[in-house]
């Protein structure tokens, strides 16, 4: 059975102070049934926490915190130029991206440098530069936090949406994702939906116009726009890009002709949250230990020794300001632990 320790400091890219009342690393899902059925842990809350790249730890967790550390990547099968790749949840997401390119496989390069573990990727349905995890997803294995029993989830069962999934919104806190399967392709065409990305890619020598070359460009762009969590504590994009109706979009364009927006297939419009935040006067603004980054208005930064409550208070001010100026609601991306609606119990 996994070794359980007490009062363990938790790591997150926002570097907020928090401890787990109980903590265990899971190297093998076969250990879970015995661990979860143990009389000492049977009745207490369970929380899964990987590298902490998309969470706000607002306080200590009075729970059994489980960290998946299982590792390994492999090609399960080939279908022509396509490969079904399986990766264990404890691996670093960006290491998977680099590994896939080393195998000559394309599909993940637009998702380069996204921090976090592989197990967290489906939870959030990570996305960047016109690609989402759902675009290459096949299936995953997840284990119940009630009894440790594992089962497969298909893409449809995962209910993927924009920065959302079954595991985040439908049954939060009930599953530990243990492995993920993705379809990658030797002959996949590059996704170049962003003008800056397309121009840089086409300027590459012909020999570099491949997945490896595109990954290099993505890494350069991310490093130029987003602070490295190792150097400056942050959780990446702190707010989702809001979606508004066509009618509201027309009204906003009348008042703000320079509004940055993107038409969606259902007739709605996705707004650039960073533009809204910057226009509302929050880009580069700091209050105490917390602020919005000076180069990217979407990134909330812990400049010093902020607490989780300081972060959430600052974020609420940004949301209120955008709401008052644009009548648009900004939704926070990172998960709050312990959950606010549960009165401190995750």
Return the active site residues.
Answer: 163, 237, 333
Query: H-helix or E-strand containing 216?
Result: helix 211-225
For the beta carbon of residue 138, count every other beta carbon within 10 angstroms.
16
47 pairs with which residues across the strands? 65
Contact between 272 and 240 (Cβ < 8 Å):
no
Of 329, 333, 278, nearest to 14 (Cα)? 333
CB neighbour list of residue 114: distance below 8 Å, 6 or more residues apart: 93, 94, 121, 126, 128, 236
The residue count for the chain:
346
Give the Cα separation of 43 and 37 in Å (integer): 9
Q: Is 38 helix (H, G, I), strand (E, B) or coil?
A: coil
Q: Is 78 helix (H, G, I), strand (E, B) or coil?
A: strand
Query: H-helix or E-strand containing 144?
Result: strand 137-144
Q: Is 230 helix (H, G, I), strand (E, B) or coil?
A: coil
Angle (deg, nearest 10), helices 211-225 and 195-202 = 130
On the 0-12 / 13-18 / 19+ scale of CB atoms within 10 A, 39 is exposed
Residue with tokens 């508004």: 244
- Describe the strand order of the beta sheet including 61-68 as a list of residue ranges: 4-9, 19-26, 61-68, 46-48
Give the Cα separation of 7 and 5 in Å (integer): 7
């Amino acid at each position: 059975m996994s070794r359980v320790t007490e009062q363990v400091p938790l790591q997150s890219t926002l570097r907020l102070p928090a401890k787990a009342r109980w903590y265990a690393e899971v190297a093998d899902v076969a250990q879970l049934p015995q661990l979860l059925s143990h009389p000492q842990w049977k009745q207490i809350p369970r929380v899964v926490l990987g590298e902490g790249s998309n969470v706000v730890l607002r306080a200590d967790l009075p729970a059994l915190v489980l960290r998946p550390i299982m590792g390994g990547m492999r090609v399960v099968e080939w279908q022509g130029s396509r490969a079904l790749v399986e990766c264990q949840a404890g691996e670093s997401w960006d290491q998977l991206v680099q590994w896939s390119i080393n195998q000559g496989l394309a599909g993940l390069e637009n998702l380069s440098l996204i921090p976090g573990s592989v197990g967290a990727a489906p939870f959030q349905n990570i996305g960047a530069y016109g690609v989402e995890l759902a675009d290459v997803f096949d299936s995953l294995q997840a284990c119940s936090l009630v009894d440790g029993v594992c089962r497969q989830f298909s893409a449809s069962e995962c209910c993927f949406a924009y920065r959302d999934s079954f595991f985040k919104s439908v049954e939060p806190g009930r599953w530990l994702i243990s492995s993920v399967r993705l379809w990658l392709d030797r002959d996949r065409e590059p996704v170049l939906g962003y003008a800056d990305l397309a121009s840089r890619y086409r300027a590459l020598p012909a020999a570099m116009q491949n997945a490896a070359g595109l990954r290099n460009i993505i890494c350069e762009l991310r490093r130029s726009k987003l602070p490295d969590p190792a150097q400056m504590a942050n959780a990446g994009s702190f707010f989702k890009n809001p979606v508004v109706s066509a009618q509201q979009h027309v009204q906003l364009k009348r008042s703000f002709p320079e509004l940055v927006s993107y038409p969606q297939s259902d007739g709605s419009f996705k707004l650039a949250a960073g533009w809204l935040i910057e226009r509302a006067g929050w880009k580069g603004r700091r209050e105490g230990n917390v602020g919005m980054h000076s180069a990217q208005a979407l990134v909330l930064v812990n400049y010093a020794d902020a607490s989780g409550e300081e972060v959430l208070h600052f974020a609420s001010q940004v949301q209120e300001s955008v709401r008052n100026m644009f009548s648009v609601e900004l939704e926070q991306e990172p998960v709050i632990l312990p959950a606010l609606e549960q009165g401190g119990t995750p």
